[in-house]
Structure 1
Amino acid sequence: MLEPYVKLEIKNQIGYIEFFHPEHNAMPSDNLKKLENTIVEAGIKDAIKVIVLKSGGDRTFCAGASFKELIAIDDAEKGKQFFSGFANVINAMRKCPKLIIARVQGKAVGGGVGLVAAADYCLATKYASIKISELSIGIGPFVIEPVVSKKMGQTTMTQMTINAEQFYTAEFAKDKGLYADVFDSVDALDEAVKALAQKLASYNPEALKEIKNVFWQDTGYWDNLLIERAEISGKLVLSEFTKETLKRFR
């Protein structure tokens, strides 16, 4: 079985950050921490002008939090730390001084939708359907709500949260502003991502940094907000309802 990883590769002033986990790119705490650190690292490298966030494999972009780790949580502090993983990555992405393009080749679920929404620009394939499933397992999308609502609107966030077991198509995600464009194949997606990244890398880096600041203005309070939201989820995961529901996923 392939081992989980997070890696950074620099090509032509483009920093390609790739993460992988054999369980449909689910993200355990250690991978989330590595992803956070890699985003910070790429943000300060002069050799990088623009960042592409991608995942390994060709079926799922990110299945969200690791259920194996979720099931093992046995106290509120561990729960808070677990859910803080996605909070810290989202905050690292919005504070990164480089523009981040998300390359979404497949399905995104829960926290995976949060990662996509935290990018500055997203390109996807027609297979990249999305689902916010947290409510169906007894918790809720508290950590990702601010960034998904910012990108797609509160009405869409509410719709997807309540219809927690429904996958929404890539075209739906495009119509609601999550994806800028949707392609028929991974090859076409990769060509478009490369072309856009190369174009952006040729622009004035100071202008790119300043426009990113504009994109994310008035979100500074998220540093605290997302950790507070992680604490809510960390308590809910200990509830009898959630524990019983999670047993089905063992």
Structure 2
Amino acid sequence: MGTTRENGSLYTKIDGKVAIVEFGHPARNSFVAELLDRLTEEINTLSENDAIIVIVLKSEGDNAFCAGASFTELMAISNIGEGTVFFSGFANVINAMRKCKKVIVGRLQGKAVGGGVGLAAACDYVFASVNAAIRLSELTIGIAPLVIAPAVRRKIGTAGISELSLSPTEWKNAYWAQEKGLFSKVFDDLKELDNQLDLFVQKLSDYNPEALLAWKKVLWKDTDHWETLLIDRAAITGELVLSEFTKNALSKFKK
């Protein structure tokens, strides 16, 4: 499947028992609302596909993994309703990944910001390049990483997310992210990353799918309330994005 470049792109390739889902957008693989909706739909569809055991989530190109929310769409939000709907897009993707019946393995070739960090955190296992620095920049534009916080905190703890979010202009390197538990493996060479990723998912796809599902449910224990929590957080963020602080900050970024 695919989308137009204006609204980003989304493609799924099936290789045996592995589904490789690749998203992209010209603006550093950032997310517009339509792309978030399509990614949610694709994860839900693959979750019900009995031929699939593992999902690999990746993005286009060799540069940024994901720049988070589309600044163009953030600037266009004019009321709380629109803001809530937009940030619910990230909530829906994270919840789809959480509930997915397949193990989701992330491939991060480059930097991840904001919602991109949330996507990485919602993966069950992450292969990252040494270039995959991370940043939660939300406070610099007058909002907070409210929607993605439960997923990120689940991986790196309260201390980790405090350090990451309260220094919103500071990049944390891939080894910091690995030490905190966000990344599982870090590689200097992208080719080696892909070789090891391929070996890993092939092994994983040969395991008993019922055992993998039972174990994934255990790993995601006590997260059922995210169904409402993340949407509630989206509503708060939708209100914050309308502030004068945010409007001014976004206009400066645009310039």
Please indicate, yes or no, whether the TM-score normalized by the shorter chain is above 0.5. Answer: yes
How many Å separate the matches in 1 of 2:251 and 2:62?
Answer: 29
1:185 alignment partner, one of 177, 182, 189: 189
Task: Encode CA deviations 1:83-103: one digit per residue, 9 max, x unaligned.
Answer: 111110000000000000001
Of residues 208, 212, 215 in structure 1, which corresponds to 2:212?
A: 208
- TM-fit CA distance, 1:249: 2.1
Map of 1:135-146 to 2, 5 A cutoff? Answer: 135-146=139-150
2:163 maps to: 159
Output the aligned Cα RMSD.
0.8
Written as runs of structure 1 = structure 2, the 5 A alignment for 1:73-222 is 73-222=77-226
1:229 corresponds to 2:201: no
Q: Which runs of 5+ in 1 are unaligned?
A: none
Moved runs in structure 1, 4+ residues, more than 4 A?
none
Residue among 239, 243, 250 paired with 2:247: 243
Match of 1:65 in 2: 69
Mapped to 1, the partners of 2:145 and 2:195 lie a distance apart of: 33
Shift of 1:151: 0.4
Contact residue 7 and residue 38 of structure 1 kept, 8 A:
no
Q: Give 1:196 deviation, angstroms.
A: 0.7
Q: Is the 8 A contact 1:101 1:120 kept in 2?
A: yes
Equivalent-residue separation in structure 1 for 2:46 and 2:10 (angstroms): 12
| Aligned equivalents of 2:190, 2:59: Cα separation in 1 | 12
3-state DSSP of counterpart to 1:17 = strand
Normalising by the residue count of structure 1, what TM-score does the alignment of the two structures yield?
0.98
1:10 correspondence with 2:21:
no
The one-letter code matched in structure 2 to 1:25 is N
TM-aligned CA deviation for residue 230 of structure 1: 0.4
Q: TM-score, normalised by structure 2?
A: 0.96
Please report how far the alpha carbon of residue 12 of structure 1 lies from its aligned counterpart in structure 2 after TM superposition. 1.7
1:185-213 deviation line (CA, Å, top 9, x unaligned): 21111111111100010000000000000
- Equivalent residues, number: 249
SS of aligned partner of 1:175 = helix
**Structure 2 CA distance for aligned equivalents of residues 63 and 185 of structure 1:** 22
1:144-174 C-alpha deviation (Å, 9 max, x unpaired): 1101000011111011110001110000000
Q: Which residue of 2 aligns with 1:41?
A: 45
For 2:49 and 2:150, locate their aligned partners in 1 and report how far apart those are by CA, in whole Å. Answer: 28
